[in-house]
Structure formats: C-alpha cells, structure tokens
Chain A
Amino acid sequence: MTDALNAILVIVLVMNLFVLGTSRILAVINTVATQGALLGVIPLLVHTHLTISVVLTSVAAIVLKGVVIPSIMIRALRDAEIKREVEPLIGLLPSIMLGALATAFALLFAGELPLAGEHQSALLVPTSIASVLVGFIILTSRFKALSQVIGYLVLENGIFIFGMLLIDAMPLLVEMGVLLDLFVGIFVICIIVNHINRAFSSLDTRLLASLKE
C-alpha cells in the first residue's frame, strides 16, 4: 500500500521538475493534468476501507483536475495562440535546479517535523511541501498569465496532498466545495485571461503595470 503511494508521489515530484523545465505551455498543461489525476487516485490508496464519500471525492478530483480544468485551459491557450513561455525571469535550467533544491529541502525538513507515527514512512508531507514551493517558483518567475495559473494549480495540488492526511476530518460537502471553488476559480481566471489577450494582444503580465504608485 505505502509502496504504491510512494511511487505515485515520486512521479508527482518528477512532474514538478518537468513543469519547471519545459517551455511549451501545452505540454505543461498536460503534465499538470496527469499530476492532478494521479493525485485523485491517492484517496483510494490511503483508505483501507472504501466508503462512498471517498470514492466520490476521488472520482470528482480525477474528472475535474484531469479533464475539465485542462480542457478549459487548452481552449484559452488556443484562443491566445501562444505556444511557449519565452524569457522567464529565471531561466529554465536554473529553475529546475531551484526546484530540485526545494524538493531536497522539503525532504530534509519533513524529517525534522514532528509527525504522527503512521505518517513517517510515506512521502506525503515532503511531496506536499515541495509542490507548494514549486508552485511559488512558477508563480513568481513566469510572466505569461497562463503559466501563472499553472503555478497556482501546482500549489493547490500540494495542498491537496496534505489534505490526504486528514481526509477523515473533511466531510464530503466541504471536499466538494473546495473542488468547486477551484473549478470556478480557474474558469473565471481563464475568462479574464481571454480578456487580457483581447485588450493587450498578449498574455504577458508585465504589460499589466499601469497601476502603481
């Protein structure tokens, strides 16, 4: 059980680095979609006895993160007619290095954390922290509006992993509410992205700089 879980989490970590090191936005969206779908499988593994609510959460997460959100984003991408993230603030190779450092830090740091006994062997907590950090790196170092949305998704995935520790505390309704908020959020963001594209003929957020002191 723990082995399968850890295998998934290692794949998630590798995907984080891949997202950091790729400039083609379509590939990045697909990777994050796969990552989200993989994470949706985790609730099934964490729980020894399957209840309806666990299965529902899992299915909803897979459908939403693996299918719905990526298709919205790909549509926004097609409308915007861009392919690559050019000239990020931090180059692709340095950002992979930074991501690797963040992952290593997360692994070391999680070792120091006072965790409850049954969570010490699994990679849940370090993967969660690493994903949150990688999400922040993407958010701050990329300039295309869609890339920043991807950063937000990776961050959210990291939080989702941490939430796996507490699936008993989160009732089904709240779990669904979190997913619904995520969905509506991405939906609204993509509409705004379209408007940015129409108004500025570009998705470069550096153009959004007329409001300052």
Chain B
Amino acid sequence: MPNFVIDIAHMLAGGLVLLSFMMLYQDRLYALINVFALHALVLTLSVAWQAYIQNAPHLYVTAAIALVFKTIVIPVALHKIIRRLGIHRDLETALGIGPTMLAGMALVALSMVLMLRVTPEADPLAREDLAFSLSVVLLGLLTMVTRRNAVSQVIGFMSLENGLVLAAAGAKGMPLVVEISVAFSILIAFIVIGVFLFRIRERFDTVDVSALDQFRGERR
C-alpha cells in the first residue's frame, strides 16, 4: 500500500480529532452545531476513503448514511429546534476552556499510549485509526460532561458515535449490518432525546439540565 494512502487516512482521522477539540471550546450553540456538521463531513470523507482503499463497497453506504443524516438532517433539525424553542444560544460550561483543553490533550495522549501498546501486531493503518477513534470517543464524553446544556450533551453524544463509526470503518471485515444498526440506534436516540428536549422545555422554559435537578429538589 503506498504511503500516501495511509497518510490521507491518518490526516482525515486526525482532522476528526481536531474537530472534536474545536467542539470543546465552542460557547455558542449554532457554532457548536456547525462544528458538529463539519465533524460528520470529515467522518464521511474518512469512511469513503476507507471504502476506497479497502475496496469495500458497503462502506460507501455507511459514508452515505453519515453524510445524509449526520451532516445534513440532524444539524438542520437541531437548528430548527433551537429556533422554535428560542433556546438561549450561549453555553454555560462547567469547566473553564483552558482546563477542558488540557484534559482533552491528556485524553488523546492516553488513548495513543494505550492503543499503541495493546495492539503491537495489528495492521498499522487500523492501529492508528483505533487510537484516533478512541480519542474522538473520549473527547465526545468530555464534551458531554463539561456542558450544562441538554442540546450540547446531545451533540457530544453524537460526536462520540462518530468515533465509533470511525473505528468500525477502520477495522476490516466489519459487517454492514452492524454499522447500519449503530447508525439507526443513534438516530433513534436523537429522536428520543429531541422529544425529551421539547418536554423539558415545555415544563421548565429552559433546556439547562440543572433545572431538572432543581425540580428533583436537589442542590447543585
């Protein structure tokens, strides 16, 4: 396999990690959604590239799903939801931007060290891909944890799933059924969470999840 093929795959996966970092420091909802759309687009490119180099046509289906749903449908739907609900557009973070970025770097370092150490015999392409996708998963979790807003938690969750798809695409021989079912389960989760968003909004006039905690009669 020519070197530059691997380099492009790495570049796309690395771009995904970079976009995850971008998500970490967004403090506007629209900007966050736009970054997420970009994230999904890079994922689409990455999966399509994998389909090309692995000669696996079914991966094109995965790429198409990512393009249609994650890059277009979900961001547009989120934009609409925000407009209809009139949600506050700035995000309240639980942790300052600086510490969050530092934590993110530590997580990436951790996943690199871990993946490179536990998979010494694996194919170098898949190996680095796995390290990148683990970073994306962890950064997605970090995004969920450091935001108080329900919409940003949804986006963190879906960027986490992007990391899973990246890993699945990198691993050769992953059946299409698995990928499609993962994609659809994420879609269902999005719908369920969307419905909940409406409900929360109707009841509390905000999607800040701390309102839920106040409703339970708890202190923060």
Q: Do A and B make up one complex?
A: no
